[in-house]
């Protein structure tokens, strides 16, 4: 059938929400042709999934769309913290945290920061970015079936506007088709975890008087704990547009039909503490929080990403961020294999790396819901009992116990107790401000299209020349940079006294190999009698080159 396919692309993406669009953006940045099909007619209209964590923003920074996201998120730029209070009337209540980054300590670890951009505002930015890079995005098109063989995947897609069907032949298929993933079900891949946690009805509404009640409390989210009308309030513009999450208990036989406009208006007014508050309902969507992780992230040439691979409690916004980071991990590996500078077995490392992170992160998300007493969540015994505390170690500090890296520590916890980015293989490479001529850039800005070797200037012990020879002779995408304080460096320190080698855990005559996703692939503590062979062996192991 595939010999007469109507369309031929290296990658077919199923699902056009945050994760599918991010996959398209990242593949486009790497020059990989692809098609995306999404059954809905356009991007999301509902303001949900607003918390983009610092790691996600690092990826969007390198992809060139950070300024556009900040512009789209400008209305909530001054909102910080989570408030928990019986009502919004009076001074009762407490801040679960007041600032995401109190004291500005994050600046030590990253060139960017958290960003509040709701899904309905972020998705159009991703669409524009992906299409500018040549992405073939097809909304209102639905994949009806697919078959795979040793050489690729053949899919049948229906244009829902015309009912026309056509075939697409792809080398690989990425399923970003949501928690009820038809692709995952078709592959017969099961899921593990506690399952459903709680359910909410998410309501968008307008109220002109609510802003006066909120006052100058610029929260990200407010948990309202009135015993008869609890819920979560989220601002959309801090003026008239708001979102409210009301608990829904289908396990007690409560149906969605019971959530009438009148009931929701009364519930929101009671929760806020202002009977008769003007509440005009503008939209409603139900959702169920769950903690589940797919037992496998791939089968053959088909890969799961985002909610199709993992579901987690919304507290902390871990789910969408984990999915976007799935997309980034997979995109560079697909590009490397399709371009021929990595072996197909590199793709096996996708699930080996990302699945343990999802298991650990989903447990932390449930624990955070318990910690925050999320409305409607009455955890079963044993659920939500993971370690609590700060989330920066979860967001930035996770490591890959095995996969496309040499020298990882498979016994270390996936999420450390404290954030420590020291250049250890399998962890995100440290951030350091540098200068390249008049340009100021982070080390993280170097990582996107190639493997990167960092060495010292002038004491590079032959690593720099070895990298140039390996790149020329072996056809590997490999760039090398000498870092130092003087003019003999490719990249100079932005701040006097900085030491890239110490920050990355090697000596001045050592070297660090970093992957296109910014994770450390390998490092040499010092000089080698044969740096070219040492580097070639490392690349062979990391990239699964024959």
Mapping DSSP to helix (H, G, I), strand (E, B) and coil, where does residue 385 land?
coil
Asked if 339 and 455 sit in the same domain, the reply is no
358 inside domain: no
Asked if 20 and 140 sit in the same domain, the reply is yes
Residue 402's nearest CA partner among 354, 338, 334, 339 is 354
150 inside domain: yes
| Residue 275 Cα distances to 229, 279, 306, 353, 497, angstroms | 12, 11, 41, 51, 61
Of the residues 256, 275, 290, which one is the last residue of a structural domain?
290
Residue 320's nearest CA partner among 100, 115, 102, 112 is 115
Per-residue pLDDT reduced to its tens digit, 314-332? 877 788 999 999 999 999 9
377 inside domain: no
Q: Which domain holds residue 44?
A: 2-79+114-192+292-348
Asked if 441 and 526 sit in the same domain, the reply is yes
According to the model, what pLDDT value does residue 243 have? Answer: 94
Helix-helix angle 318-339:18-29, to 10 degrees: 30
Of the residues 325, 348, 371, which one is the last residue of a structural domain?
348
Answer yes or no: is pLDDT of 2 > 70. Answer: no
12 inside domain: yes
Q: Tokens 């704990």, residue? A: 225
Asked if 310 and 274 sit in the same domain, the reply is no
Asked if 214 and 335 sit in the same domain, the reply is no
Asked if 162 and 283 sit in the same domain, the reply is no
Answer yes or no: is pLDDT of 540 > 90. Answer: yes
85 inside domain: no
Per-residue pLDDT reduced to its tens digit, 349-358? 999 999 999 9
Do strands 298-299 and 302-304 pair parallel, antiparallel, or not at all (unpaired)? antiparallel
379 inside domain: no
According to the model, what pLDDT value does residue 395 have? Answer: 93
Asked if 73 and 15 sit in the same domain, the reply is yes
pLDDT band at 3 (very low <50, low <70, confident <90, very high): low
Per-residue pLDDT reduced to its tens digit, 497-510? 999 999 999 999 99
Q: Say if CB 160 and CB 33 are below 8 A apart.
A: no
Per-residue pLDDT reduced to its tens digit, 385-408? 556 556 888 999 999 999 999 999
Asked if 447 and 310 sit in the same domain, the reply is no
Average pLDDT over residues 232-260: 93
92 inside domain: no
According to the model, what pLDDT value does residue 208 have? Answer: 94
The domain tally of the chain equals: 3
Asked if 144 and 12 sit in the same domain, the reply is yes
Average pLDDT over residues 477-485: 97
Residue 451's nearest CA partner among 332, 296, 369, 273 is 332
Per-residue pLDDT reduced to its tens digit, 111-130? 999 998 888 899 999 999 99
409 inside domain: no
């Amino acid at each position: 059938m595939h010999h007469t396919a109507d369309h031929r692309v290296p990658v077919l993406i199923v699902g056009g929400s945050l994760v599918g669009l991010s996959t398209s953006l990242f593949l486009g940045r790497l020059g990989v042709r692809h098609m995306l099909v999404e059954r809905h007619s356009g991007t999301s209209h509902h303001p949900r999934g607003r918390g983009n964590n610092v790691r996600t923003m690092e990826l969007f920074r390198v992809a060139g769309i950070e300024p556009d996201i900040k512009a789209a998120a400008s209305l909530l730029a001054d909102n910080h913290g989570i408030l928990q209070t019986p009502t919004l009337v009076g001074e009762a209540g407490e801040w679960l945290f007041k600032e995401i980054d109190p004291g500005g300590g994050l600046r030590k670890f990253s060139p960017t920061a958290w960003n509040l951009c709701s899904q309905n505002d972020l998705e159009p930015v991703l669409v524009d970015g992906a299409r500018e890079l040549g992405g073939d995005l097809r909304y209102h098109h639905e994949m009806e079936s697919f078959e795979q063989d040793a050489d690729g995947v053949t899919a049948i897609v229906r244009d829902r506007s015309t009912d026309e069907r056509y075939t697409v032949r792809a080398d690989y298929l990425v399923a970003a088709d949501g928690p009820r993933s038809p692709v995952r079900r078709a592959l017969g891949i099961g899921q593990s975890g506690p399952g459903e946690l709680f359910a909410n009805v998410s309501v968008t509404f307008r109220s002109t008087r609510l802003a006066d009640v909120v006052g100058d409390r610029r929260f990200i989210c407010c948990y309202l704990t009135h015993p008869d009308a609890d819920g979560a309030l989220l601002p959309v513009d801090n003026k008239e547009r708001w979102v409210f999450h009301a608990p829904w208990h289908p396990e007690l036989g409560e149906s969605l039909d019971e959530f009438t406009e009148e009931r929701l208006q009364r519930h929101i007014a009671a929760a806020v503490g202002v009977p008769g508050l003007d509440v005009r309902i503008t939209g409603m969507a139900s959702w169920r929080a769950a903690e589940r992780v797919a037992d496998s992230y791939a089968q053959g040439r088909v890969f799961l990403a985002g909610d199709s691979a993992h579901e987690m409690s919304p507290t902390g916004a871990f789910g969408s961020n984990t999915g976007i980071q799935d997309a980034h991990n997979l995109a560079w590996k697909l590009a490397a294999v399709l371009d021929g500078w990595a072996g197909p077995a590199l793709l096996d490392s996708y699930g080996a790396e990302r699945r343990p992170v999802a298991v650990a992160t989903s447990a932390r998300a449930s624990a955070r819901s318990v910690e925050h007493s999320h409305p409607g969540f009455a955890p079963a015994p044993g659920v939500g009992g993971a370690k609590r505390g700060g989330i920066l170690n979860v967001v930035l500090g996770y490591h890959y116990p095995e996969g496309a890296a040499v020298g990882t520590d498979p016994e270390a916890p996936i999420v450390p107790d404290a954030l420590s980015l020291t250049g250890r293989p399998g962890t995100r490479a440290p951030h350091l401000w540098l200068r390249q001529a008049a340009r100021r850039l982070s080390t993280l800005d170097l990582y996107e299209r190639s493997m990167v070797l960092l060495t010292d200037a002038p004491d590079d012990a032959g690593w720099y020349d070895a990298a140039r020879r390996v790149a020329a002779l072996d056809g590997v995408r490999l760039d090398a940079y000498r870092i130092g304080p003087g003019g003999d460096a490719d990249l100079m320190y932005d701040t006097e006294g900085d030491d890239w080698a110490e920050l990355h855990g090697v000596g001045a005559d050592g070297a660090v190999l970093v992957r296109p996703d910014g994770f450390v692939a390998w490092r040499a503590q010092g000089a080698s009698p044969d740096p070219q062979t040492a580097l070639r062996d490392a690349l062979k192991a990391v990239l699964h080159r024959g």
